[in-house]
Structure 1
Amino acid sequence: MKKTANLLLMFTMLIVLILSGCSKEDGSTEQGINEKDSTAETVTMFLAESWPSSIVDPSWTDPIAKEITKRTGITVKVTTLKSDNADAELNMMMAADELTDIVVAYDDRKTRLISGGFVRDLDELIEQYGPNIKRNLGPFFDNWREDDGKMYALGNWNWNAPTKYALNLQINTLHMRYDILKELGYDKLDRNGEGNSFITVDEYTRLLDQVKSRYPDLEPALIEGEDAYKTMIMSTGIQSRHNTVFENGKGYYLYNNPYTEKAIAFLNKLYTGGYIPKGFASFKQEENESLISNGKVFSTLGNVPGLSNSQAALSESNDERRMVMFYLIDNPNVKSIFANGYWGIGGPSIMVSKKSEKVEAVMKLFDYLATEEGSLLLNAGVEGVTYNRVDGKNVPTDEVAKGYAAWDTNVIKKYGVGGWFNIFPSLAGVDKEGNANDINAQKVFEDDKWVVYNNMDWKRFSYTQIVSGVGDLKKENNPEAFEAFVRINGYAKDRMVKAIVAPDGQTSKKEWAKAVQQMESDGLAELNKALEENWIKLAKALNKDPEKLNQVEADK
């Protein structure tokens, strides 16, 4: 009996072991491959920027993260910034040769990773491992290439139908109070005609005169200084980005181009004429927010710090008591401007480390997320958790939709919606049936009439993406120009603001003339020459005409 019992026990244990090892049809165990004891392959990622670090839960346990692992067999060990000093943290990693498999970085930090040889050229990897990346994101590759023609980073999203579903259009140009424009009977307020979202400098000045006369308690305009100057430069229709201006294939330093004196003279005229608060140059964000949210400002020229945070408070009691956006143009002949705060394509930021031994897994992850299925997951989340199917349409849950619209980071982190698609490559536009992958942006766009209002004319008349020609301005390649750039950039903004706040036009001219003289002695000619050469080099790498490198529909 004892022997029989032992045999039965052994048989029972064998059956249990066999059943516990059985797999489901999709190849995963009953527990799912995202459990701790799974065989999921782990890749590492460092978010070397405060923005992505602030919008995701690095534990990789939100619904989207779990589902990515379930579908791909890949989990991501995420490292976020531990301090406010992103440069120091990234430098430490590079010095110790301890970079993660994936690195996310913008602007100067991205440039250092590329110039230092820490990240891989992606073209060969895409050919080998990324058929979906090539098929679905290929049209945007030229926008993501560096001055050497190579692509080291992928953009984190793109809109393939931006006029239909574009959520965040913070135009770096002109914001004016809708209710006051309505009281003044402004003829372009309803935006019925093509180009009605454009306003010339002369039109804007006349509006400021009316406001100053009729509303003596209002500040006609609030500016930050540098941003207002950039807005005036962009109003001419030339391309400006990363302290660089390009026109007709020629490069200029931002603070010394053919339009600089005119821009400074206009801002000085506003200042001396009492259109701008006298202490604007020293205002902190809290002071700007107080002025705007309490209805003490008619317009902002450029994006002043605190502008977006003040909008909700400003319009809380009256929907029309808000600031709406217009494109400022130098004259009626300007057809194209660069809307600095809006991107039709996510800037390239996600890179693969050269020391990574898991390149194939990283590319497998990227390639899946670049499919329609992967992009829907990244943008909309998990069906039944963050959205539901209602009459054949994907509809976000109320909690997720409201959290996304208000950009509640607690909700963003909890569900992963809005977070991961700002990091990984994906399709954020519309699918083949015309439905947005980013269903939360779609809902905001459809529900909020002001979002639609602020999107008028932008696709036809504005640059949605511009290539920077400053990327190759590296110390090892062009030391004289690089040193000049560092020296001049250290004081140019302050000298420009000093010229703006001069007591009169003549003094303003003299102030700026002294600044130009200082820039010239610090190597301005070398800097401009390098910028022009970089632009031509980039155009050659992309096999394009330097004068038509960024051509928009209105120019064709």
Structure 2
Amino acid sequence: MRKKALLILIFVMLSVITLSGCSGNKQNKSVNEEKSSGAKEESVTMYLAESWPSSIVDPSWTDPIAKEITKRTGITVNVTTLKSEDADAELNMMMAADELPDIVVAYDDRKTRLISGGYVQPLDELIEQYGPNIKKNLSPFFDNWREDDGKIYALGNWNWNAPTKYALNLQINTLYMRYDILKELGYDKLGRNNEGDSFITVDEYMSLLDQVKDTYPKMAPVLIEGEDAYKTMIMSTGVQSRQNTVFENGKGYFLYDNPYTKKAISFLNRLYTGDYIPKGFATFKQEENEALLSNGEVFSALGNVSGLSESQAALSEGNDEKRMVMFYLIDNPEVKSIFANGYWGIGGPSIMVSKKSEKVEAVMRLFDYLSTEEGSLLVNAGVEGVTYNKVEGKNVPIDEVAKGYASWDTNVIKKYGVGGWFNIFPSLAGVDKDGNANDINAQKVFEDDKWVGYNNKDWQQFSYTQIVSGAGDLKKENHPEAFEALIKINGYIKDRMIKAIVAPNAEASEKEWGKATQQMKSDGLDELSTALEENWLKLAEALNKDPEKLNTVEADK
């Protein structure tokens, strides 16, 4: 997950074989065996190098799940969260001082630096030695987690076995609009009675925005956060994309310099200069976004906006239809499917073991227990009688937890640990032999909340499975010049984009972005684009796919 990593609610109603913890031989004893004879009490240290996991757990290790983990395994985790807004600088200081704790959780470039710098160790042999349940239950995901050298350095957190159905929450880069306002305007696709009614063209969207300006003059037609809105516009073209790469007609491009970049920025500038977007949006914090959304002062959000999902409970209080619902923006009617990123069947590999850890066995015992069926139920559902109850043989979350999870209330998430720790530790979130998920709160949302089902229309048409494989990612050791260029460009490109969006007119916007492009070129854009193209082709080869069809959906087959 990225910094704005987003929670994806997934429910699977497919009967599979029971994934139960198994015992190993005398040398490879599972935690289940050990705890029956008294678990050894130990403490390990963990650093969360990302803002997302740091924001959803109580580092004191005193919530019901954390305490129960210690009770069952004898292991206490001393957690340190990200302290500053500069995650790179904070991690760099720890690496320079060689003071990494036993466990490190990091994403993307920070994870890459930890691996390439030798700060974390391969897990393959450790899994063989200490992780019989990891091997038994998580091995179907191993190929997704291998790096270019063929080794596993990080485990994924929530893992859904045999995913077949997907419930999508308000957390992906697409278009969100007020249901009640659409109903008042008589929008003809609102009922979603026909296949494809979840799609809306840019022209249709602009027509709705104009109607909102005329009918509700005090309401902001659009709220955006620059980067996510830009990505939504790129996705609307249906182009093949992954992380920093856009690929079309045999050529790879950097995300911020592809054939659709100018058009996307021009559109966003048009929204801004036409007073569709609130002035000052670029400085809004989550609290300001959430207040605008909760108070009903916004008609639509173009791309994911911080505070979006958190605002829905307050927005819809007293009127179930007064909420945001998802539509999938397409550039024109010819676009049949888009890459709605954030759509995963497994959690991205992010939890690693420090090279210098002296508690490797304890760390692996912890990971191994949480990879059992029993441990997975604990880390996903919590403690029976505290966070859920068994009703007629089915695990049912208590109301406070279920509602907190559905609205992603971080106070509730932290209080009980439900929703927090499964975004960090390895586990099975998917179904058991009876079709019930360990992530019982995601299951309840899917079953009970008609709006999740509403948002799930046409999923086969638009949602590509997110590729989480480490193969084909940009590595410093493989492409040092391109890697350096990416670091430089990422340091300023979002700010330069905002300047282009808020330029006073189309000509000034184009000029501003032209200067940004020249700066990217001087910082190694050509080398970066070449490396991204090579990696795209490499990934396609590893997955045995046509490079032009790396992302495919059921409707494409």
What range is the shorter-chain TM-score in?
A: 0.7 to 0.9
- 2:232 aligned counterpart, secondary structure: helix
- Relative to structure 1, the CA distance from residue 384 to residue 197 in structure 2 (aligned partners, 3 Å threshold; closer, same or farther) is same
Q: Hey, what does 1:382 align to over in structure 2?
A: 383
Aligned partner letter, 1:75: I
1:147–1:537: 8 Å Cα contact kept in structure 2? no
Distance 1:286 1:372 in 2: 38
Aligned partner letter, 2:416: Y
Q: Hey, what does 2:83 align to over in structure 1?
A: 83
How much does 1:231 deviate?
0.7
Distance 2:420 2:464 in 1: 26
Structure 1 residue 352 and structure 2 residue 353: aligned? yes
- 1:151 aligned counterpart, secondary structure: coil
Residue-by-residue CA offset, 1:500-520 (whole Å, 9 max, x unaligned): 334443443343333323322
Residue-by-residue CA offset, 1:198-246 (whole Å, 9 max, x unaligned): 2121221222232233333333222222221111001122344544333
Aligned partner letter, 2:233: M
How much does 1:42 deviate?
4.0
How much does 1:465 deviate?
1.1
- Relative to structure 1, the CA distance from residue 159 to residue 201 in structure 2 (aligned partners, 3 Å threshold; closer, same or farther) is farther
2:169–2:455: 8 Å Cα contact kept in structure 1? no
- Relative to structure 1, the CA distance from residue 120 to residue 239 in structure 2 (aligned partners, 3 Å threshold; closer, same or farther) is farther
Distance 2:315 2:416 in 1: 30
- Relative to structure 1, the CA distance from residue 175 to residue 123 in structure 2 (aligned partners, 3 Å threshold; closer, same or farther) is same
- Relative to structure 1, the CA distance from residue 295 to residue 163 in structure 2 (aligned partners, 3 Å threshold; closer, same or farther) is farther
Distance 1:279 1:470 in 2: 40
Q: Hey, what does 2:314 align to over in structure 1?
A: 313
Distance 2:83 2:374 in 1: 36
Q: Hey, what does 1:22 align to over in structure 2?
A: none
Q: Hey, what does 1:490 align to over in structure 2?
A: 491
Q: Hey, what does 2:23 align to over in structure 1?
A: none
Structure 1 residue 422 and structure 2 residue 419: aligned? no
Q: Hey, what does 2:398 align to over in structure 1?
A: 397
- 2:246 aligned counterpart, secondary structure: strand
Q: 1:261-300 maps to which residues of 2 (within 5 A)?
A: 261-300=262-301
How much does 1:543 deviate?
5.5
Give the TM-score of the pair, scaled to structure 1.
0.84
- 1:332 aligned counterpart, secondary structure: coil
Distance 1:468 1:522 in 2: 28
Q: 1:466-545 maps to which residues of 2 (within 5 A)?
A: 466-467=467-468, 472-541=473-542, 545=546
- 1:172 aligned counterpart, secondary structure: coil
Give the TM-score of the pair, scaled to structure 2.
0.84
Aligned partner letter, 2:331: D
- 2:109 aligned counterpart, secondary structure: helix
How much does 1:388 deviate?
2.0
How much does 1:162 deviate?
5.7
Residue-by-residue CA offset, 1:334-384 (whole Å, 9 max, x unaligned): 233232344332121111222234434433332332232221121112223
Residue-by-residue CA offset, 1:100-132 (whole Å, 9 max, x unaligned): 332211223212211111112233433454443
Distance 2:482 2:34 in 1: 57
2:220–2:299: 8 Å Cα contact kept in structure 1? yes
How much does 1:182 deviate?
0.6
Unaligned ranges ≥5, structure 2:
1-31
- Relative to structure 1, the CA distance from residue 130 to residue 332 in structure 2 (aligned partners, 3 Å threshold; closer, same or farther) is farther
How much does 1:409 deviate?
4.1
Aligned residues: 525
Residue-by-residue CA offset, 1:7-58 (whole Å, 9 max, x unaligned): xxxxxxxxxxxxxxxxxx98769xx94xxxx733444333223333343344
2:166–2:456: 8 Å Cα contact kept in structure 1? no
- Relative to structure 1, the CA distance from residue 27 to residue 199 in structure 2 (aligned partners, 3 Å threshold; closer, same or farther) is closer
2:157–2:348: 8 Å Cα contact kept in structure 1? yes
Distance 1:27 1:462 in 2: 43
Q: Hey, what does 1:5 align to over in structure 2?
A: none
Distance 2:284 2:56 in 1: 28
Range moving further from structure 2, 274-283 or 299-308 = 274-283
Distance 1:468 1:250 in 2: 21
- Relative to structure 1, the CA distance from residue 130 to residue 333 in structure 2 (aligned partners, 3 Å threshold; closer, same or farther) is farther
Q: Hey, what does 1:98 align to over in structure 2?
A: 99
Aligned partner letter, 1:260: T
1:371–1:426: 8 Å Cα contact kept in structure 2? yes
Q: Hey, what does 1:179 align to over in structure 2?
A: 180
- Relative to structure 1, the CA distance from residue 416 to residue 486 in structure 2 (aligned partners, 3 Å threshold; closer, same or farther) is closer
Residue-by-residue CA offset, 1:156-199 (whole Å, 9 max, x unaligned): 00234666574734221111111111112212212222222121
Q: Hey, what does 2:28 align to over in structure 1?
A: none
Range moving further from structure 2, 162-171 or 232-241 = 162-171
Distance 1:177 1:454 in 2: 12
Aligned partner letter, 2:221: P
Distance 2:116 2:472 in 1: 9
Structure 1 residue 554 and structure 2 residue 550: aligned? no
2:63–2:417: 8 Å Cα contact kept in structure 1? yes
Residue-by-residue CA offset, 1:267-323 (whole Å, 9 max, x unaligned): 233333343334434444444334333323221211233333333332223221221
- 2:311 aligned counterpart, secondary structure: helix
Unaligned ranges ≥5, structure 1:
1-24
How much does 1:459 deviate?
4.6
Distance 1:453 1:283 in 2: 29
Q: Hey, what does 2:203 align to over in structure 1?
A: 202
Structure 1 residue 191 and structure 2 residue 195: aligned? no
1:241–1:468: 8 Å Cα contact kept in structure 2? no
- 1:114 aligned counterpart, secondary structure: helix
- 1:79 aligned counterpart, secondary structure: strand
Distance 1:381 1:83 in 2: 27
Q: Hey, what does 1:302 align to over in structure 2?
A: 303
Distance 1:295 1:241 in 2: 34
- Percent identity, aligned pairs only, is 82
Residue-by-residue CA offset, 1:449-470 (whole Å, 9 max, x unaligned): 2222222223552123134889
Distance 1:478 1:121 in 2: 22
1:246–1:252: 8 Å Cα contact kept in structure 2? yes
Q: 1:147-186 maps to which residues of 2 (within 5 A)?
A: 147-160=148-161, 166=167, 168-186=169-187
Range moving further from structure 2, 527-536 or 46-55 = 46-55
Q: Hey, what does 2:117 align to over in structure 1?
A: 116
1:118–1:354: 8 Å Cα contact kept in structure 2? yes
2:156–2:351: 8 Å Cα contact kept in structure 1? yes
- 1:93 aligned counterpart, secondary structure: helix
- Relative to structure 1, the CA distance from residue 95 to residue 401 in structure 2 (aligned partners, 3 Å threshold; closer, same or farther) is same
Distance 2:93 2:274 in 1: 50
Distance 2:127 2:545 in 1: 23
Residue-by-residue CA offset, 1:373-418 (whole Å, 9 max, x unaligned): 2211211122233222211111122343344334444543443322
1:133–1:367: 8 Å Cα contact kept in structure 2? yes
How much does 1:532 deviate?
1.4
Distance 1:410 1:289 in 2: 16
Distance 1:99 1:510 in 2: 45
- 1:351 aligned counterpart, secondary structure: strand
- 2:127 aligned counterpart, secondary structure: helix
How much does 1:425 deviate?
0.9
Distance 1:28 1:474 in 2: 41
